[in-house]
Amino acid sequence: MTRTHTAPAYVEAAVGAVPDPEIPVLTIADLGIVRSVVADESTGVVEVVVTPTYSGCPAMEAITAHVSHVCRSAGWEPRVTTRLSPAWTTDWMSEEGKDKLRRFGIAPPTHTAADGPVRVTLGRRLVECPRCGSTDTVELARFGSTACKALRRCEACRETFDEFKTL
């Protein structure tokens, strides 16, 4: 039986365009969790390597299922593997992704120094309110509605907002 499938570039782009189930304005390519997508025309197999944002991220299963679905819809056989190393960092999030987050009302992660220690001092970082742009914001809860978010309040406009934690 011969398979009919779409062009490799098509399926590779389609995989990257899968939305994050928790933050649907972001694609998994924006998040930087797609490490590689390789479509092999001779076998009709797409090898997708993803890395989780957090060890226990419950969205991984939904992402894997969605990626497989997208590949099959495009006529390809998916092979999705999870790779832990090197560990994901918010530095891998695209600038476009950070803009999308801001427009969605989530403060994007701040830059981390490569290989530096993770800064975890409470309330010392300047985090901009995604609504009014004020940096006069305070942390309400380090652990927010998902593993990757913290909850903050803007002292200028008094709105609460999510912050994508720097990791």
Partner 1 sequence: MPLPTGDRLAAAYLLGIADDAMVYAQRLGEWLTNAPQIEEDMALANISLDLLGQARGLYPHIGILDGTGRSEDDFAMLRDEREWRNVQLVEQSLAGFGFEMARLLWFSTYQAELYAAASASSDETFRGVAAKAVKEVAYHHDHARQWALRLGDGTEESHRRMQEALEAVLPFLAELFEDDPVSVAATEAGVGVLPSSLHDAVVARVTGIVEEATLALPNDSMWRSRGGRQGVHSAPMGYLLAEMQHLARSHRGATW
**Stretch touching partner 1 by CB under 8 A, among 8-16, 25-33, 70-78, 112-120:** 112-120
59-73 and 8-16 helices, crossing angle to 10°: 160
165 binds partner 1 (CB under 8 A): yes
| Size of the residue set binding partner 1 (CB under 8 A) | 28
Residue among 42 and 85 whose Cβ is closer to partner 1: 85
Strands 106-107, 160-164: pairing is parallel
Judged by DSSP in three states, 47 sits in: strand
Residue among 17 and 140 whose Cβ is closer to partner 1: 140
13 binds partner 1 (CB under 8 A): no
Non-local (6+) Cβ contacts of 129 within 8 A are 107, 135, 136, 137, 152, 154, 156, 157, 159, 161
Binders of partner 1 among residues 28 to 87 (CB under 8 A) are 52, 54-58, 83-87
Q: How far is CA 162 from CA 60, 64, 68, in A?
A: 21, 25, 30
Contact flags string 113-152 toward partner 1, x per CB under 8 A: ----xx-xxx-----------------xxxxxx-x---x-
Residue among 38 and 140 whose Cβ is closer to partner 1: 140
The values of phi and psi at residue 63, to 5°, are: -65, -45
Residue among 9 and 115 whose Cβ is closer to partner 1: 115
Please count the CA atoms within 13 angstroms of the CA of 32 that sit on its side-chain side.
Answer: 17
Please give the residue ranges that form the binding site for partner 1 (CB under 8 A): 52, 54-58, 83-89, 117-118, 120-122, 140-145, 147, 151, 165, 167
